[in-house]
Amino acid sequence: MKIAVAGTGYVGLVTGVCLASKGHQVTCVDIDEKKVEIMRQGIAPIYEVGLEELMRDSMNCLTFTTDYQMAYKDAEVIFIGVGTPEKKDGSANLTYVYAVAKQIAETVEQDCVVVVKSTVPIGTNDKVEAYIQNCLKHDVKVTVASNPEFLAQGTAVQDTLHAARIVIGVETPEAGEILQKVYADFDAPKLVTNRRSAEMIKYASNDFLALKISYINEIANLCEIVGADVEDVAKGMGYDSRIGDKFLKSGIGYGGSCFPKDTKALSWLASFNDNEIKTIKAAIEVNESQKFKLIKKTKKYYDDLEGLTVAVLGLTFKPGTDDLREAPSLVNIPLLLEDGAKVKAWDPVGVENFKKKVPDEITYCDSIEQTIQDADLCLIFTEWEDVTQFDILLYKELMNKPIVIDGRNCYRVSDFDGTGIIYDSIGRRCAK
């Protein structure tokens, strides 16, 4: 099929590349000419495991352009995959969605289905369809469908090609049939429902996972007080099929482009309609507090950080991505600097993005060894494989004072017993 994808960010580019890999003729549209030129060379502008390789393998079915008129005018299906960042009040900013909708309305010259892939509040697809129909320049039929994404950064390509489910929200059988055709070669359960249910499935799914993370983090905090081990607790819970073992890993909270934004958006939507989802509000509050868990732990070892060297391992919100959105490092490193610490930081892919935010105030290192050299304290924010596989005895050998505070539980506590290294993690006993 002839498909256009509006937006080449995280959602749009992964969607376009994966559809092209199935043989569809896909045109990806972006307003940034430099970004488009890079993609034409087979270079992905974002770091995502397997994306660039699949992109290069699928170039015979991929076109990248800034010319939306060319891309939309005769497309059978147009995916909207632009960002919906949160506003200051927590609601979703739909400016980019409506900007694309306007372009589509002014450009399409044949009947088509517009598919909103972006995460949008319940009822948005209805409004987008009405908006397009009111702005149409040609006598064509445009139907809007909801097809939310369920991608995890770091595994987005696999999550698309081998999806747990494909949700199709439509108001006409014809639109449903077209999307079934789009996804005919995707081996995944396909749920066809109405648009509002599809929109709610996205929010309900993401926010439930955020709930699990905040819940296990609260349990972890209590485990530290009562002497229980949160990993054993989570393992015991996970054997129960009604609970499952996913998203029960304690740490310093969730980040990224989805959970923070989607929990706030659903909470805002409920409040706007004189309702309240108390569990979601609690998850948001717990997560915000959990981000500062490591900073609080430093007070056990130093009265203040003035003049101390602090090593930071990991800047991105999770491994496998260069995304810094809502990463704990963004709020913690400024606090370390305010407290007078000298910060040395390492991340295998996130440094360049972080430099744009904190370019001169910290020392960026090329290796873990270089980062921890002569450090008085080491804080772990991201569980990169380089960190989890690191020789822990090097902490003692290279650090001025071997104090490791781990926000991602990268190591077994027992491995530190008798080493002379202080190892303090989340929801577990402290090793010395």
Enumerate the active-site residues: 258
CB-based contacts of 232, cutoff 8 Å, min separation 6: none
Give dist(CA 76, CA 358) in Å, integer.
Answer: 44
CA dihedral angle for residue 185, residue 191, residue 194, residue 200, rounded to 10 degrees? -110
Report residue 222 as tokens: 């209590």
CA distances to 32, 135, 137, 139, 390 from 110, in Å? 27, 15, 11, 8, 57
Q: Cβ distance 114 to 145 under 8 Å?
A: yes
For residue 339, count other CB atoms closer than 10 A to its CB: 15
Q: What is the spatial distance between Cα 160 and Cα 183, in angstroms, rounded to a whole number?
A: 11
Question: From CA 91, how far away is CA 161, in angstroms rounded?
Answer: 30
* Distance from the Cα of residue 297 to its chain's centroid: 26
Which two tokens mark 171? Answer: 């108001």
CA 410 to chain centre: 20
In angstroms, the CA 90 to CA 283 distance is: 14
